[in-house]
Chain A
Amino acid sequence: AQSVAQPEDQVNVAEGNPLTVKCTYSVSGNPYLFWYVQYPNRGLQFLLKYITGDNLVKGSYGFEAEFNKSQTSFHLKKPSALVSDSALYFCAVRDPYNNAGNMLTFGGGTRLMVKP
């Protein structure tokens, strides 16, 4: 079975500082990994994904994430946080070799608060 853990319910960071939102996963094979962002009263927006290749993937709004196979992690990062980055962030994993269905498993979400 596949699973995702986001160990922090909330991350606080000052504007202009680097931010990291943590994600670890468990899957039987090589994972497909995703990050989504949700602003208040909105749906989830796709930020970036890792499928294969370079471990550092770049996405929307200046975000990037690093795939670390040995630590089974896919942390979301941004060099300089903006107040407008304040939102709920979801990590998700998919086992591409799972024939039981097209299942994306989501983490519980991490609320990012960026203070001016």
Chain B
Amino acid sequence: ETGVTQTPRHLVMGMTNKKSLKCEQHLGHNAMYWYKQSAKKPLELMFVYNFKEQTENNSVPSRFSPECPNSSHLFLHLHTLQPEDSALYLCASSQEGQGTTGELFFGEGSRLTVL
């Protein structure tokens, strides 16, 4: 148990579907992240939220839409995805600010398959 919970763990969707991934952290952290992990590729940082404000968007296609309603919850809304979007989506959190070291704590991931 890492203190970061992701649901669902597995998701299969068609290209025309709309679905959402959810992440909740119980660590009292003030920053949350979405990463994409594809086979044979490095970890890709998608979005960063600090104190609920989006501070990073690494040229992610608009078919991925993040939402951070509060510092404990993070969503990734998915719409008209492509088969190449199939991957493991990892949520992470960290405590940011003076005196912190910023290590990330990851959830178990949501394995997404786009048909």
Contact = CB atoms under 8 A, between A and B. Distances in A.
Contacts of A101: 48, 50, 55-56
A96 to B, nearest CB: 8
Given A32-B102, A49-B101, A102-B31, A43 B2 contact: yes
Interface residues of B, number: 26
Contact of B42 (A42, A46, A96, A108): A108
Contacts of A32: 101-102
A109 B103 contact: no
B43 A102 contact: no
B101 A103 contact: no
Nearest to A51: B101
Contacts of B66: none
B104 A42 contact: no
Contacts of A22: none
Interface in B35-53: 42-43, 45, 48, 50
B85 interface: no
A36 B2 CA distance: 13
B103 A34 contact: yes
Nearest to A52: B101
Contacts of B88: 41
Contact of B90 (A34, A44, A94, A108): A44
Nearest to A108: B42
Task: Please name the 8 residue pairs, one residue from A and one from B, whose CB atoms are nearest each other, closest first.
Answer: A43-B106, A44-B106, A43-B108, A106-B43, A108-B42, A102-B96, A43-B109, A43-B107
Interface of A: 32, 34, 36, 41-46, 49, 51, 90, 94, 96, 101-104, 106-109
